[in-house]
A = this chain, B = another copy of it.
Amino acid sequence: MTDAQKVHTAAMLAIGDELLSGRTKDRNIAHLASVLTLAGLDLREVRIVPDVEEEIVAALDALRTRYDFVFTSGGIGPTHDDITADAIGRAFGLPVEPHPEAMQLLAAYYESRSLPFTDARRRMTRTPRGASLIDNPVSKAPGFRIGNVFVMAGVPGIFTAMLDNILPTLPTGPVMLSTAIACPFGEGDIGGPLSEIQKRHPETAIGSYPKFDGQRYSTELVVRSRSEAARDAAAAEIQAMIEGLAES
C-alpha cells in the first residue's frame, strides 16, 4: 500500500455539560462524520465528556495515542466553564499561554468594534505552547491545532467553518464508496442469505437498516467498500437475492 492509499483514522471528543444534560443536542458529530467519510478518513470513535479537566485529559490521551487525528468541539470560549485549552495543555504536558498571533488578531478585532479587550476575551487567546491557529471566520476567536489534535468551537456554525479551514491540510485517503439498495423485505426474511453474501465479500461492509412504515417492514441495505469492484459485486448479489425472494 503506498502512502496515497493509507487510510487515516480519526476520533472525535465532544466536550460540554450541556450535551450530557440534554440541554443541547449535538450537531457536530454527524457533520464531522459525513465530512471525514467524503475525505476518505475513517472516524472510528466518538466520546462526549463533561466540562471536567480530568475527564477531558483522560479521554484525549486515550484517543490521541490511538488514532491518527482527534477533533474536539466545545469549551474554547471566554467564560469560566471553557477549560478545553487548559485540559489539552495538560494532556500534552505543555504550558498554556496567550498565543501571540491570537492576541494580535483579537486586539485588532475588538478595537475595530470599539469593544474592550477584557480578561475574559483574552482567555480566548490561550493555547498550549507551539499550537498553530485555526481561523474562525464567524466570530474571530480562533481554534488551534497541537500535535494531532484539532481544537474547535462547539457552536455548530463555527465548528463547521473551522473544519472547512483544516480539511485541505488533512491527508486524504481512498474514499469509502457506498451503494444503498432498497429492499422490500424485512430483516427477518433476508438475514440468513445476507449473512452468506457478507461472508463471500469480506472486502465490503454490508449494513442493514430496518424501516417500518406503520404497516410493514422493509430494509435499506448499504454496501460499503474502498474497492468499486468489490462493492459492485456484493451489490449485484444482493439484487439477485431480492429478485429471488420476490419470485418465491
Interface residues of A (CB under 8 A from B): 17-26, 29-37, 43-51, 55, 77-81, 110, 115-116, 118-121, 123-124, 138-139, 155, 176, 178, 187-192, 194-195, 198, 205-210, 212, 217, 222, 224
| A18 and B191 form a contact (CB under 8 A) | no
| Neighbouring B residues of A188 by C-beta, 8 Å | 78, 110, 115, 118, 120-121, 124
Assembly of this chain: how many copies? 2
| Neighbouring B residues of A189 by C-beta, 8 Å | 115-116, 118, 120
Candidates B29, B80, B205; contact of A195 at CB < 8 Å: B80
| A77 and B206 form a contact (CB under 8 A) | no
| Neighbouring B residues of A48 by C-beta, 8 Å | 29, 45-47
Candidates B17, B35, B118, B209; contact of A191 at CB < 8 Å: B118
Known contacts A46-B48, A81-B208; is A192 also within 8 Å of B119 by CB?
Answer: yes
| Neighbouring B residues of A19 by C-beta, 8 Å | 29-30, 33, 46
